Every structure is written in C-alpha cells, then in structure tokens.
Structure 1
Amino acid sequence: MEKNWVLALLLLQIFSAEAPFGGGAGGGIWIGGGISSQTPSGFSNNKLYIAYTALQAWKSAIKDDPFRILDTWVGSNVCSYKGVFCANSMDMSTSQVVAGVDLNHFSLQGSLVKELSLLSDISIFHLNSNRFSGTIPDSFKDLVNLSELDLSNNQFSGPFPLVTLLLPNLIYLDIRFNQFSGFIPDELFNKNLDAIFLNNNQFEGQIPQNLANSPASVITFANNKFSGSIPAGFGIVSRIKEVLFLNNQLTGCIPEGIGFMTDIDVLDLSYNSLSGHLPDTLSCLSGIEVLDLGHNQLTGVLSDLVCSLKNLAYFNVSYNFFSGFSQECTRLLSRNVGFDFSVNCIPGRNMQRPPPECSGIPAGLNCLRIPSTSPMFCSSMNKISGNSNPYILAPSSLPP
C-alpha cells in the first residue's frame, strides 16, 4: 500500500504541473509556480511537500547505499529522514522547512539532481566522504540561503563549479579531494567567503592576481598543478590565518607582501620550485606557528629576522640551497622548535648536500634581495586606518 500511495502522489504532481522542471521533457515539478498552493494530505505545509519531491528525485539517483541510510527516506515526514534536518522557517511563513542536509561519511554512490534546488531553505549541504560523481547542477543557483557547501572527498569532476559563485550567502566552500580540473576563476576571491578548500584536485594555471581581495581566513591550494608565481600583492590586505600552497608547480620569488599577514598561523610553501632569498618581511609574521619552506630552490642565509619569531613551533627549510644561518636560528633548537634545515649547503652541519650540488646557485637570481640594515617596524595601524594588516617599514627595508 505504501508504494502505491507514493506512486499515486508522484503521478499527481507530474500531471498537475503546468510545465516540466527546467522546461525539459520528463520533469516532475514546475519551479515557476506549478505546485498547487494547497498542501497535499500527509504534509504539514507545502514546503515540506516540495522537499519530499526533491529528496525522492535524489533518492532515485543514488545507486549504492551501504549503510542503508535511504531506508529511512520513506513517507511524508521528511524531517525524520536520516541526514535531513528541519527547522522553523526564517520568514515564519511556515512552521517547519528542510534547513540542512548532512550525509557525511556514508559512502553513498550516485549523482546530484537538479531537483535539489527546490530545497530553497537549506543553509547547510554536507556530502563529505561519499562517492558522488558528475558535476554540480546549474540549478543550485536557486539555493539562495546556502551558507555551507561541503562536497569534499567525492568523485566530482569537470571545471570549477561556477554555480557556487552565484550563491549570495555562501561563506564556506569545500571541494577538496575530488577530480575538478582547469583554471580557478578570478571571481572566487571577490566573494565573501571565510573558507576556501581547493586542495587535492587537478586545478592548473596561475593563481589569480586578485587573491589578496579574499576575506577568507583559510585557503588551501595544496596538491594541484598550479604554476607561475605567487601573486605579488598577496598578503597586503589579507586577513588569512592559514594558507597552503604545498605540492604545486609554483616558481619565482616569495613576494614581500606575504609578510604582511599579521593574523597568519600556518604558511606552507613546500614542494614547489620557489627560488631566491627570503623577504625580510617574514619577520612581521609575529603570530605564525608553522612555516614550511621545504623542498624548493631557496638560497641565501637564514637571518635573525626570521628565526626570532616568538611563536614558531615548526620551521622547515629542508631540501633548499641555504648557505648558512644566524645565531638566532641555532637557538631554535634550544627553544624546542621543530627546526629542519637538512639537505642544504650549510658548512659544518650534518645531512647537507654534497659540495658539487652547492657549487651553482639555482635559477632565481632575480629574487636576490639586499638585507635590511635597520630593524623593521611591523606595528599595526588598526586604530588609524581600520585595516588589520597595514605595516610601516623602515625606509632601508623597502623593496627597490
């Protein structure tokens, strides 16, 4: 009887719609108002009926459910479905709406369907650690209340999902550990996002030059195929706390502006092909705890300016071409800082490169910098400018 009731209800909504979903054949509901304003029997309000229609369409596109989550997706009480969460309507027009979907770690296999855009009240959509594939439907642009989108650790593919840029209230975007490819759009870093996770995909090309525009506190580019240089202005207006560039194909200098990120805790530039001397502005990273520069082609002498950072807990410069370090760097060992300087060209130290490897300086002479002859002034001017990252540099330390 239950199956017959469900089938009858679906047939009713198909034939009562004035036009199919999205204008194509075989749709099940008309977004532009084809649903009757009368609430069908068994539903407390019309929005829950619409949510039922969307979830049942999605259920039919899920091909494997090893934890039998979808066994609970039966009947009109969608608020009882496992992974579906209801709350009072924000506009108080109805008592209950579907406000979130959280199906993390259920190993579901299938695809996303366009009907999911009918869940217009959801603010959270989490699908971490499943086996969803395909692309993100363009109809997701209608999820105007969505604030958190987590599609990480799945099998999604195709270019960067541009539809995410159309979500006006999105603040958390996590698409890491998928198979997305191609270029990253500049518009991504103009969005009011607090977290951007792009790592472990197949993205390529240069990192957009407007990276510094992003107000995000966390951005991860790691384990992709990004090339070119780190944007020169990155850090000057950034309020970032954690940024991971590791394991890409980045070249060129570490920009001076990267030292302007007063709030940063973690900076990982390892496993790239960055070259030249370190900028003295790194000494302005007063709160940094993890600084990883390993596996690059960096040269010069590690100075007191960098090694005197008080909050350092881990400092990795291994597999570079540094030729020495100052007394302050030696003290890192007594401070119980994880300081790895192996496989460089530092005389008198163990585990260094053989002399033939140190006889020539790697490419990157254009990154040579003249060390500062006077202290840097990294004091914030918050009270004056309202910007959390302005700095005053001693004239002698300004880049030429």
Structure 2
Amino acid sequence: MMMKKKKDSNFKLLSLFLFLGLIQTNGDDGIGVRIGDGGVWIGGGNPNSNPGSAPMQQTNAAYNALQSWKSAITEDPSGVLKTWVGEDVCSYRGIFCSGSSITSIDLNKANLKGTIVKDLSLLSDLTILHLNSNRFFGQIPDSFKNLDSLQELDLSNNRFSGSFPQVVIYIPNLVYLDLRFNNFTGSIPENLFNKQLDAILLNNNQFTGEIPGNLGYSTASVINLANNRLSGEIPTSFGITGSKLKEVLFLNNQLTGCIPESIGLFSDIEVFDVSFNSLMGHVPDTISCLSEIEVLNLAHNKLSGDLPDLVCSLSNLINLTVSFNFFSGFSSECSRVSVGFDFTGNCIPGKGYQRPQPDCSVIPGGALSCLRIPAQPLTCAAISVGLKVTP
C-alpha cells in the first residue's frame, strides 16, 4: 500500500512539471526531470551561463583560433597540422597547455608556409610563441598587442617583410624579441629601446637609417643588430646607464665615426663586435674597463693610432681581432697576447702581413675628432663623471 501511494505521488509531481515545461517562455532555459527513489528532481538554465562553463568557452576560442590559423597555412611538408583535428587543442602537435589553457606554441623547424592570423590574439594565456625556421611571410597582426601574457616572441628565420612591426612594442609583458633572418626594412624605432626587454635580436634583415640615440638606455643583456644596412654613428648614449649588457653585435653595417668613450661603462660586457664597418679614430682607453670581456672584434674598419696597452691587458680576453685597420703600432703588453690576437692588414712597422706602405701614407679620418678622456691612470669607476650625454 505504501509503495502504491509513493508511485502515485511521483506521477502527480511529474505531470505538474511536464505542464510547467509546456508553458515556459524562454526557449534557452530548458527543464530537466529525473525520477528516483527519493522523489522527483528538477533542474534548468542555459549551460553556458553556468560558472563551470568558462573553461569550455576558452577551449572553444582556442579551437577557433587554431583552426583559423590552420586554414592560412598552405604548405605543411612534415604533416604537423594533421594532428590539429578535434576540440582537444592540447593534443595538437606543437601546442602546450597548462590545464585547459594554451600557454606555449613551439613550431620551430616545422617548415610551415603561410601567414599569421589575427585570431591568435584570442589565446589570452599564451606566454611563448616560437616559430623559428619556417616560411611564414607577410606582417605581424596588430591584434598581437592584446597578448597580455606573451613573454617570448621568436619569429626568426622566416620571410616576414615590411617595416619594423610596431605592434611588438605594445605587447605589455614581452621580454624576449627575436626577428633575425627576415626581410624587414626601414628604420628601427626609438621606443624599442625604452621597452623592458632582455634580448633584442634584429640581425640579418634590411634595416636602414641610424641606430636610435637612446640605444644605451636599453635594459637588454643582448643587442644584435648585425648584418643590416645601418649607417651613422654609434650613439654617444651607448653605455651611459651602465646597463647589464653582455653582448653587442653591430658587425657588417655601414657605421661611421668613433667608438664612444662611454663603452667603458658596460662593465659586464662579454662580447663586443663592430667589425666590417667604417669606424675611424682611436680606440678609446675606456675599453680597458671592460673587465669581463672575452671577445673584442674591431676588424675591417678604419681605426688608427696605437692599440692601447690597457686594452691588451684585459684579463678575460680570449679573442682580440683588430685586423684590416690602419693601426700604426701596439705595445709590448699586446705582444704578450699569444692566443686569439689577429693584427694582420694594418700599418705596423716590422710586422708581417701588413698593408703596403702606399696604403698607410694617408690615414682615413685623420682629421676626425673623437671625445677623449685625459685620465692617467684611467679610473674606470669615475668615467661617468666626465660623461654627460643625452640621448
């Protein structure tokens, strides 16, 4: 008898809720009904309004972004994109997740050909985007400024072109920028060196114009501007803030003028390469303040005078290259440098493999006046007192 009453009661409740379901006015808010031993349960509401649906929305955005990018890639010889199927984006090759969020894309050496789509800016948790050694071309979408979490952007060894991609300056948390081996043209913007970057790698492009005057105020530990078409002088601000710069590569450009005395403020520098330019004048004594330097390459310029004793006495120096300049001599201290010292192609009397005498009769830039600090002995810690330079 009790069982019959319980079933009758459930039947009446079910009839009532089915009736309510017929008169609902919001088609998006359905009603769920379940009958069990404990009675009747009712549930409703749009599942997309449920707080637990946020990860699903995020996954859908990531899926749409990656599928949009997939459609913009025209060649995939390694079959990377064959795995980009289904809504589980974290299983895609080259895609790395934390939980359900995409945090890293690493498609280095995938040999993909195509363009970069603006939809990638939907990946709000993306911190690393590495696309080294592919065949991507075109430009970087302006929407990349919305990648608030992005810290590393490596687009090196591709076929990007056009002027410097200004959008990278507005990526708020970017600390590593690698645009090497592309076809970017035009000038390098000044505000790039105001950005808090650890590495600025722009070598092997077609950048022209002068190096921005605020170069020395950069926070980067590595600045590589090699193999471009940059002209003008090395900015006098170079080193003025005493930043933690460790590598400076300006080789194979069209730079002229002097090596700034302010280079001596880079006390942590390990590599300084300005070879294959048209720099003139004397080597500043302040280079002797570079106590950590290991590689100093001044080759293939138009530098002259005697190579300072102080330069050759640097304790950590393992490679000193001054070949193919117009140096007229070096001291006994330099004669003691037996490993990695190349002074061929200069104008040093009594040494072999030097320029023929007619080439040394007229020294290029002989009338060039470079700033000199007459400090004997040189006190490295006091250099900044005599250098008041504005960018």
Contact kept in structure 1, 2:307 and 2:329, CA below 8 Å: yes
Q: Which residue pairs with 1:223 in the alignment?
A: 227
Q: 1:340 to 1:371 in 2, by over 3 A?
A: farther
Task: Tell me which amino acid in the other structure corresponds to 2:225.
Answer: F
Instruction: Tell me the secondary structure at the aligned position of residue 64 of structure 2.
Output: helix
After TM superposition, the structure 1 = structure 2 runs for residues 320-331 of structure 1, keeping only pairs within 5 Å, are: 320-331=325-336
Shift of 1:239: 1.8
Q: 1:160 to 1:374 in 2, by over 3 A?
A: same
Q: Which residue pairs with 2:59 in the alignment?
A: 48
Contact kept in structure 1, 2:290 and 2:314, CA below 8 Å: yes
Answering whether residue 252 of structure 2 is matched by residue 247 of structure 1, we say yes
Equivalenced residue count is: 339
Instruction: Tell me the secondary structure at the aligned position of residue 367 of structure 1.
Output: coil
Q: 1:290 to 1:37 in 2, by over 3 A?
A: farther
Shift of 1:44: 5.8
Task: Tell me which amino acid in the other structure corresponds to 1:367.
Answer: S
Distance of 2:197 and 2:55 partners within structure 1? 35
Distance of 1:140 and 1:305 partners within structure 2? 48
Q: Which residue pairs with 2:83 in the alignment?
A: 72
Answering whether residue 378 of structure 2 is matched by residue 392 of structure 1, we say no
Q: 1:232 to 1:54 in 2, by over 3 A?
A: same
For 1:95-129, what per-residue CA distance to the aligned partner results, in whole angstroms no more than 9, with x for missing partners? x2011111000100000011111111100000000
Task: Tell me which amino acid in the other structure corresponds to 1:277.
Answer: H
Task: Tell me which amino acid in the other structure corresponds to 1:256.
Answer: E
Shift of 1:374: 1.8
For 1:234-258, what per-residue CA distance to the aligned partner results, in whole angstroms no more than 9, with x for missing partners? 0121220001000000000000001
Distance of 1:104 and 1:202 partners within structure 2? 23
Contact kept in structure 2, 1:268 and 1:292, CA below 8 Å: yes
Q: 1:48 to 1:355 in 2, by over 3 A?
A: same
From 148, 157, 160, the equivalent of 1:153 is: 157
From 163, 166, 169, the equivalent of 1:162 is: 166
Q: Runs of 5+ in structure 1 lacking a partner?
A: 1-35, 89-95, 379-390
Task: Tell me which amino acid in the other structure corresponds to 1:359.
Answer: S
Answering whether residue 187 of structure 2 is matched by residue 183 of structure 1, we say yes
Contact kept in structure 1, 2:280 and 2:303, CA below 8 Å: yes
After TM superposition, the structure 1 = structure 2 runs for residues 327-338 of structure 1, keeping only pairs within 5 Å, are: 327-333=332-338, 337-338=339-340
TM-score (norm 1): 0.82
For 1:174-201, what per-residue CA distance to the aligned partner results, in whole angstroms no more than 9, with x for missing partners? 0010000001111000000000000000
From 287, 293, 298, the equivalent of 2:292 is: 287
Q: Which residue pairs with 2:214 in the alignment?
A: 210
Task: Tell me which amino acid in the other structure corresponds to 2:355.
Answer: R
TM-score (norm 2): 0.83
Q: Which residue pairs with 2:264 in the alignment?
A: 259
Contact kept in structure 2, 1:275 and 1:367, CA below 8 Å: no
Task: Tell me which amino acid in the other structure corresponds to 1:266.
Answer: V
Shift of 1:143: 0.5
Instruction: Tell me the secondary structure at the aligned position of residue 65 of structure 2.
Output: helix
Q: Which residue pairs with 1:300 in the alignment?
A: 305
For 1:329-376, what per-residue CA distance to the aligned partner results, in whole angstroms no more than 9, with x for missing partners? 00001xxx3000000000010100000000011025223566856211
Q: 1:306 to 1:122 in 2, by over 3 A?
A: same
For 1:134-162, what per-residue CA distance to the aligned partner results, in whole angstroms no more than 9, with x for missing partners? 00011111111100000000000000000
Identity level (%)? 60
Contact kept in structure 1, 2:323 and 2:343, CA below 8 Å: yes
